[in-house]
Chain A
Amino acid sequence: MTMETTPEPSGSGTAAKIRRAADGISNTLNVIGTIMILGLVILVNADVIGRNAFLAPISGVPEIVSMSIVAIVFLQVSQAFRMGRFTRTDALLDAVARRSKRARNAMEFIYVIAAFVLIWLLFSASVPLFDKSWQRQSYVGTVGDFTFPDWPVKLVILIGCAALLMQLAISGAVALWGIFHPAEDDGAGQ
């Protein structure tokens, strides 16, 4: 069950609408991140070709690559969670589920709370870092060659954490529903 995605929302209730909106946000971030990967392929190749064929390397490639990878990871992190790509060991959870769906959901609820709290801590501790680089307009690179502000990456970290919090909240709601309606399918929650 490790890799199972959270069930697709169905129906037209408010909960389902919220869920669809949230998934839409995660999807959008995922697409932006994916396009950035393609951008990296193009950038590095352009640098290699420029350097060898035209003796004109592209300035700042190491800096752009370093910043992009952080952005890519945080843009995709909520989608990765939603698609069940966060690694976990399922042996105990499955054993519990065989005896009691309700207990399984209760465990899941506790885990989601723990994850929510930690990502919230990460989010709130990252706000000052964004604020600082925004206020000071700090940059990477070298004056005269290539410089780029570093606040956009710090902002993406915040966006990624917020999107992950949103997906965690949905998982928490699903687990909570499952505690009280253990007989029904996981797909409930509307």
Chain B
Amino acid sequence: ETINATVVAGHPPVFRWVRLVPEVFIPSVNKQLEGTEYTFNWDEQYGGSLAKVGDETEAVEEGLAELGVISSVFDPAKLSLQNVSYYTPFVSSDPDIVVETIDKLHDDNPKMLETWLENNLQYLGAPSGIDDYLLMTTFPVNSMEDLEGKKIGAPGPAVNWLEGTGAVGVSGNLTTYYNEIKTGVYDGVIVFATAALPGKLYEVAPYITKVGFGAQYAGSLAANKEWFDSQPEVVQQALLKAGDDFKAAYLADLNKAMVASLKAMEEQGATITEVDDAFRKQWADGMDNVAQTWAAQVDSEGKAGTEILKAYMDAVRAAGGAPVRNWDQE
């Protein structure tokens, strides 16, 4: 029996979270189903051919695609709880800890699965994580005063991280960072190493500061719920197991690439510095408690914002993460 499945991703396969679908997820499903009566007929729609970034949720929800690489970071209203890490910066710079913690929260707390279900999605546990966000600037950053009046481009949720620093957060887009820094629209950006290298950002913003914003959880593969439920047990298990395989491969690949990217940028002339604990604490303490704001907003939508915030922070602490600021305990 042949199962037709369309996989949708708004990002093109140059991005790891898409690339590993054909490289790991699909082969894993195929392999597990060898010897059963089921085979998949995959239709891969990446790079916006069927849905743009942020629109994958609706494409899968409505059944235009059976599976999708869902970017929760670009769907912060629908997948609110999944965005907890973006509202809790300075918690852990280790992608393994952040990604594993949030994946495990899905197992332990049914409310995490509920946000997927509300969107008619079956979570497959194939998470896309982002390596530690860095500050890349045209000027060296030694103290908070250096940031005064500087314009820093940042992805939507990270604009909050600049609050209280004296720097001006400008909501920006990875694609145009290079140009914007080069001409001087931005004096720097908040970006992760594995994207900064291919974007050649080190050429225009050679001062890389490890502030400790932290690694992030950005989404996961998910399936259309009705379609998933209609599949035989063996197929469902194969999809879930392939999600685990994806996660393992993803984290291994990400960690390797993160180290390699930093090394490559340094070799190309970038200066990498890590701020000391006092600086980091000063930065984190200077922020409003954006996590509480977020949790209150999510609570008001009838979802478990405060509960998940606490569960996430507890889990990170239990896993050996050392939050600079305990957002949940204020």
A and B in contact, CB less than 8 Å: yes
* Contact A136/B78 with A59-B171, A144-B294, A145-B160 known, Cβ cut-off 8 Å: yes
B25: shortest Cβ distance to chain A, in Å?
A: 28
A9 at the interface (CB under 8 A from B): no
Report chain B residues within 8 Å CB of A145: 156-157, 159-160, 169, 171
Q: Would A142 and B78 count as touching, CB distance under 8 A?
A: no
The residues in B between 165 and 199 inclusive whose CB is less than 8 angstroms from any CB of A are 168-171, 173
* Contact A57/B87 with A143-B76, A143-B297 known, Cβ cut-off 8 Å: no
Q: Would A55 and B171 count as touching, CB distance under 8 A?
A: no
Report chain B residues within 8 Å CB of A143: 76, 87, 290, 293-294, 297-298
B117 at the interface (CB under 8 A from A): no
B48 at the interface (CB under 8 A from A): no
* Contact A138/B78 with A57-B170, A143-B297, A145-B171 known, Cβ cut-off 8 Å: yes
A137 at the interface (CB under 8 A from B): yes
B158: shortest Cβ distance to chain A, in Å?
A: 9
B77 at the interface (CB under 8 A from A): yes
Q: How far is the CA of A55 from the CA of B170 in the complex (A)?
A: 10
Q: How far is the CA of A55 from the CA of B151 in the complex (A)?
A: 8
Report chain B residues within 8 Å CB of A56: 168
Q: Would A51 and B159 count as touching, CB distance under 8 A?
A: no
Report chain B residues within 8 Å CB of A138: 77-78
B322: shortest Cβ distance to chain A, in Å?
A: 24
B90: shortest Cβ distance to chain A, in Å?
A: 15
Q: How far is the CA of A138 from the CA of B290 in the complex (A)?
A: 20
Q: How far is the CA of A11 from the CA of B54 in the complex (A)?
A: 51
A111 at the interface (CB under 8 A from B): no
Q: How far is the CA of A51 from the CA of B288 in the complex (A)?
A: 22
Interface string of A50-65 (1 = CB under 8 A from B): 0100011101111000
For A142, give its contact among B149, B151, B156, B170 (CB under 8 Å). Answer: B156
Report chain A residues within 8 Å CB of B169: 145
Report chain A residues within 8 Å CB of B76: 141-143
Report chain B residues within 8 Å CB of A136: 77-78, 118
Question: Which of B76, B77, B157 gathers the greatest number of chain A CB atoms within 10 Å?
Answer: B77
A180 at the interface (CB under 8 A from B): no
Question: Which of B149, B170, B288 gathers the greatest number of chain A CB atoms within 10 Å?
Answer: B170
Tell me the A residues contacting B by CB distance below 8 Å. 51, 55-57, 59-62, 129, 136-145, 147, 150
Known A51-B168, A138-B78; 6 more pairs at CB < 8 Å: A51-B151, A51-B170, A62-B173, A141-B76, A144-B160, A144-B290
